[in-house]
Amino acid sequence: MRQVLLAADTPVVVANATGCLEVATTIFPYTAWRCPFIHCAFENAASTLSGVETAYRALKKKGKISQDIRFIAFGGDGGTYDIGLQALSGACERGHRMLYVCYDNQAYMNTGIQRSSATPLGAATTTCPAGKLLPGKSQNRKDLTEIMAAHHIPYVAQTSPGRWNDLVSKTQTALRTEGPSFMNVLSPCPRGWRFPPNETIKIAQLAVDTCLWPLYEVVEGKWRLTYRPKQKLPVEEWLKTQGRFAHLFKGDNQQVIEQLQAEVDRRWEELLEKSS
């Protein structure tokens, strides 16, 4: 997330939903934040920040503030795809100038790896464990980036820390956008996905190369792929790097992989079509 902040050349105010990021960076009396920061609750980073942004406009209008300030909200996938979706949707519709960044680690990590609607099909979490009866999550992941694009806001992007330049340039575009912008950032989580921390970047990259997490942006309704893998790898390549998918390689769970591959292919084709 620091990468996002580094990309900002105007002072920013940050709002954060409850989640790993917030818990890891602020424990009274310590804060890791060097910019103004507010955490209100789990589900309302977008609405809280929309209040802050409005306050800013009110004071600007009255000449009580002169400086330019940008506003960034951070939320995990739980705080964005699930419990905070409505607040985000509302803020976007109202048109606040703010960047909402979802750091998507595909589960509720802070509370110990429960499924979210961002959890991919087949992944095991503590609330959709791989058990005798059920092979992990039985639903496909919500495609939040697409949902946000359907909000017709001026800027929507999907990116990954695996590709630093992509992330930075998208952040800069987003912050320049006069109106709401949304960025979905895949954020591999060693603990929740079960892999050694040093593979973080590799796994982020693999998600992109398997087209499970394509990098693209939607600018004023125009779709554009920002990176096209030289070779589209099978999702298996990505799945096998992570313990949460280990059960898929056992017994007759192979078909879940096929299902997942089919869905990835379908969405990828759709994306290719839209961005052509």
Ligand X SMILES: Cc1ncc(C[n+]2csc(CCOP(=O)(O)OP(=O)(O)O)c2C)c(N)n1
Please, are residues 158 and 216 in contact by the beta-carbon 8 Å criterion? yes
| 140 forms part of the interface with its own copies (CB under 8 A) | yes
From 93, 220, 258, 270, residue interacting with other proteins (rule: CB under 8 A): 93
Half-sphere exposure of 227 (CA within 13 A, CB side): 26
Binders of ligand SF4 in range 170-229 (CB under 6 A): 189-192
CB of 189 to ligand SF4, least distance (A): 3
Backbone phi, psi, residue 267, to 5°: -65, -35
| 150 forms part of the interface with its own copies (CB under 8 A) | yes
242 binds, among other proteins, ligand SF4, its own copies, none (CB under 5 to 8 A by kind): none
From 15, 45, 101, 109, residue interacting with ligand X (rule: CB under 6 A): 109
| 8 forms part of the interface with other proteins (CB under 8 A) | no
| 18 forms part of the interface with ligand X (CB under 6 A) | yes
From 56, 71, 100, 108, residue interacting with ligand X (rule: CB under 6 A): 108
Note the residue count of the chain. Answer: 276
| 136 forms part of the interface with ligand X (CB under 6 A) | no
Show Cβ contacts of residue 169 under 8 Å, excluding neighbours closer than 6 positions: none
Size of the site for its own copies (CB under 8 A): 25
| 221 forms part of the interface with its own copies (CB under 8 A) | yes
| 194 forms part of the interface with other proteins (CB under 8 A) | no
Is the preceding omega at residue 29 within 30 degrees of 0, hence cis? yes
| 121 forms part of the interface with its own copies (CB under 8 A) | no
Please, are residues 79 and 46 in contact by the beta-carbon 8 Å criterion? no
CB of 220 to other proteins, least distance (A): 23
Q: Given the DSSP bridges, would you call strands 222-225 and 216-219 parallel, antiparallel or unpaired? A: antiparallel
Q: Tell me whether residue 81 or residue 245 sits nearer to ligand X (CB atom).
A: 81
Backbone phi, psi, residue 172, to 5°: -65, -45
CB of 244 to ligand SF4, least distance (A): 12
Q: CA 114 to CA 247: how far, in whole Å?
A: 17
Please, are residues 197 and 136 in contact by the beta-carbon 8 Å criterion? no
From 105, 145, 158, 261, residue interacting with ligand SF4 (rule: CB under 6 A): 105
Q: CA 17 to CA 98: how far, in whole Å?
A: 15
| 250 forms part of the interface with its own copies (CB under 8 A) | no
Helix (H, G, I), strand (E, B) or coil at 43: coil
Q: CA 186 to CA 70: how far, in whole Å?
A: 23
End-to-end CA distance of the chain: 30
Q: Return the residue nearest Mg ion (CB atom).
A: 76
Q: Tell me whether residue 108 or residue 216 sits nearer to other proteins (CB atom).
A: 108
Q: Which stretches of the chain bind ligand SF4, using CB under 6 A?
A: 20, 24, 105, 109, 189-192
